Structures are given as structure tokens and as C-alpha cells.
Amino acid sequence: MAPFTPLDGLLIGTATAAVQIEGGDRNNNWYDWSSVPGNIRDGSTPVRSTDHWNRWREDTELMASLGLQTYRMGIEWSRIEPRPGEFDATALARYREEIELLRSHGIVPLVTLHHFTNPSWFQGLGEWTVPASVDIWLRFVRHVVAELRDVVTDWVTINEPNVYAVQTHLFGDGPPGTSSWPAVRKVLRHMAIAHCRAYRLIHDLQPNAQVGFAHHMRVFDPWKPNNPIHQASARVNSLLFQDAVADAFLAGRFHRLLGRPPADIAAGRRYYDYLGINYYTRTASKRMADATFPGSPVNDLGWEIYPEGLLRCARRLHDRYPGPIWVTENGTADNGTADNGDLTTGQLERFRCRFVNDHLTTIATSSLPFERYYHWCFVDNWEWKEGEVPRFGIVHNDYATQIRTVKPSGRFLARIIAEGGISDAAREEFIEPQEYPSSPGEGAAGKPHSAPHDR
């Protein structure tokens, strides 16, 4: 067995998105989208999800019992601003209560201001494809930060703008379900402008804030390493999907695909306090198609499990933009062997503990400045176009009863936090019984929480 692996003060927590857990809200674009038959694979909507809007005290107490040190949560725009320019003080007070309870347990909140969902009225205006979207969203940001700055210092402006753009405007896997490269470019341009201005706005309101965006990154490797077409495909895919986005959001450097930046955004200026990385998988690139390397370990959605990729992505980003690294998402779909989640008929999970161990060990043995690790996610939740089927949580959720059951991975993370690292005994108990499934051959690379990319 490996020796004790210290984590040297790495803060460990979980990450969520509001619509994926809260339930009840019918004023957002993903509820509208899910209400159309055929858009969600299992026919579900986010109206049920995990009912966290009502069960937040129970969930927070469960987090505290596991010793979680930090928690990334979303503020749902459609609840706070149900109509243009009208803000719901009651909804915001409900979020404040939750944040105050987290803080009372010593759990540091990291609050996300945009995580894929829009108010229905904003969607109807053309959402992020129209230039006015920037100022409309900044109005919401100003209101939320001004109201919560005494209890929140850490902010994610926008979650995975690259995934949002291609999921909704290229692959058609989310609202509005179009396929348009010009729309993708407009969305990324407006989101980049919005992030840079939000970074300045939040610091004007709260000079001690820590602000960044959650950047989905994946490794793009050529399907055949010596094939020049596959090599070029990997480079182009990386540039278009993630590199140009990082340059615009982190340093105001707008690639020509995004157009000229506005005069108030200077290229080379720093628009981040930490590097937020969402990492799930690797893509085998051949031409513009994605694939999975044959025989590689995969999760229950067919995404390759490739822990080394987290380090490769972090090093690539940090070399260009130095700063503290927060893994704002990392997780895997592991449904275990339980029949439809029935705890009496099988195991809750088959390989998630091994996944956690391998990614945390990669972090621990790196010389890069990793400060935080947010596992996706806490309780099994509603996974966008996949609905309620994939299970990413360290806590099992019975959707019919909303009963929570801590999985082995939840107990493993609690043990890691309590011990300050990964011990031989913990590995023996949680890791040795588990094995990864393997890909039998070529397959499509998933894009977590949506369509062909990951999250």
C-alpha cells in the first residue's frame, strides 16, 4: 500500500448548482425546456430534484457531520429577479439563512452567480446572444453582492461558459436548442465581457473578495499520436473549446473569433483571484470528432477516467496565468449496482472512492498551488439532459422519498478531512474493494452534465 498522503491544508468540499438541487422553481429556462417531451432522456424536470429549497437545513447539517470545509453553491437568478428589475427580498433572505448556517458550522461558502440557467424572461430576450445581456446580468450581480457581501467573500461569476455556449447553441442539448456558430461566438463574447466587468464590480463593492470563473477544461489528445490530422484536431479543439475562453476571461485577451474587446477591458489585465477548474475527463481527438481510447477506464456515462488530466490541465493554465488553483468541480457518474437506486438490491457505488483517491493523490503529489477541491456533487441531483438517472453524489438520494443515505465515498471523504490526508487504512477500507469499468472500444466522449463534452 502507498504511504500516508498528506493534503497540506487543501480545503475539501462539494459543489452544486441551484436548479439541479432546489426544486420548485418554474420561472427558469431549463424548466421550460424540460417541459417539452423528448428534451430530457428520462422525461423528468428540475421541479422535484432533491427538494433542497425546503431541505437545506437537513443537507447543511449532513455536510457538517461529514466535516466538509467548504461548499460551492448557486444563487438562482430566476428566484432573485423573477421579473426584469424586480428583486425578491424573501428569496434572497432564504439564501442568507443557508449561508449563515454554513458559516456557523465553519463551512466556507463559494457562491456561483450564473450556472447554466436563466430566468424565462431573460431567455425570451435572447439571453446571452444579445449585447444587452451584459448589463442586465450585471444589475443582478450588483444586487446580490451588495446584499450578501457581509457573509460571502468568495465568488464564481460564471460556470463553464464554453459548455453553456456549445451545449445550448451548437449541440442543441439545452435551451434554446439551436446549432449556430455565430450564436456560440456571441454568447462567449458577451459572457467574457460580463465576467471582466463583474470582476471589477465585485471588487468595487467588496475589496477583499476572491473572484474567478469556473472553467471547464479537458485534455485533448490525438487518437493516433503520430497522425498529423489527429494532432491538429487536438490543438484546434483545445483552442476553440477552452484556450481562447481562458485568455478572454482571465486576461481580457479576445481572440479574433470573439471580436475586439470593448475599450474598458484591457488586454493583459488580471481578471481573476484564483484559477477555477472543472475537470472530468479526456477526449481522444480525430478530426472534429471526439472519442474514448479503447480499454481506458470509464464511468457510467462512458467518460474516460483520467486523473493525470487534472494535473495536465492545471499546469497548462497555471503556466500561462499563475495563481492559486481551486478545483471547482471534479466527480464521476457511478450508479453502483442498485436497481434504479433501490438500496436493498445492490451496491451504492462501484468506483467513486477510487476516483476520489486517484484525483486527490494527483493533487497531493503535485508542486502546483492547489488550495481547494470541490467534489461534484453532494447529493445525487438532476443532471440536465440526462435527468435523474446519473448519480454523481457522495450521498444517495431516493427521489420518491427524498431520503438521504451517505455512500462509501462520503465516508471516505470525511475520513480524509479528519485525518488531513489519505491513510493506508482508509485506502484498504475504501479503495481496495473497488475497480474501474473499462471501455471495450471506441466510444463517444461525454461532456459532463450535458452533451458531447463534459461539464
pTM exceeds 0.85, yes or no: yes
pLDDT (0 to 100) of residue 343 = 60
Q: Half-sphere exposure of residue 111, counting CA atoms within 13 Å on the CB side?
A: 24
Across the chain, which has 455 residues, the per-10-residue mean pLDDT values are: 86 98 97 97 96 98 98 98 98 98 98 98 98 98 98 98 96 95 97 98 98 98 92 92 97 95 95 98 84 92 96 98 98 83 71 98 96 98 96 97 96 98 96 87 40 35
Instruction: Give the H or E element holding residue 94.
Output: helix 89-104
Give me the residue spans of the domains in the chain: 5-431
Q: Are 23 and 52 in contact (CB under 8 A)?
A: yes
Which tens digits make up the pLDDT trace of 318-349?
Answer: 999 999 999 999 999 999 986 555 565 568 99
pLDDT tens digits, 25-50: 999 999 999 999 999 999 999 999 99
Q: Are 300 and 445 in contact (CB under 8 A)?
A: no
Closest by alpha carbon to 412, among 421, 404, 403? 421
CA 333, CA 389: separation in Å to the nearest integer? 9
> Regarding beta strands 421-422 and 210-222, do their DSSP bridges make them parallel or antiparallel, or are they unpaired?
unpaired
Span 5-431 CATH architecture: Alpha-Beta Barrel (3.20)
Q: Which of 65, 60, 16 is nearest to 417 (CA)?
A: 65
pLDDT computed for residue 175 by the predictor: 97
> What pLDDT shows up at residue 301?
94
CB 215 within 8 A of CB 160: yes
